[in-house]
Amino acid sequence: MLLMSISPFNARPASPEGERRRARVVLLVAALGITATLLAYAISPGVRHAVSHAAHSVKHAVSHVFDPDSAAHRHKPPALHGPRKPSTRASRTGSTPAPATTSTTSHSK
């Protein structure tokens, strides 16, 4: 009777040839991924735009981490300048705005 393992992988150590083959496959897949990434960056302006945004975000975050006097550079939220103006729209109480007046002047020459 054969015993079936529940693991899909061999439990015994791999042969040296298998290890070399696996290392070559890993290097090939990594090189293929890097090549595909560089090709996408070279071809697509959208990818270049996204990469530039990501680089800017990383630069901004790193500068905040290494800024020794970040409290002195911190921006304060803008203060409110007086009360808000009342709305020019009709209120929700049901009142209607005044009717628009028509001009009586003629545009003829």
Question: Residue 25: pLDDT band by 50, 70, 90 thresholds?
Answer: very high
Residue 1 pLDDT more than 60?
A: no
Rounded to whole angstroms, how far apart are CA atoms 1 and 18?
A: 28
pLDDT digits (tens, 9 = 90+) for 39-90: 998 999 998 999 899 999 999 988 888 887 766 666 666 666 766 677 676 6
Q: What is the pLDDT of residue 36?
A: 95
- H-type alpha helices, the chain: 16-43, 45-65, 70-73
| Whether pTM exceeds 0.75 | no
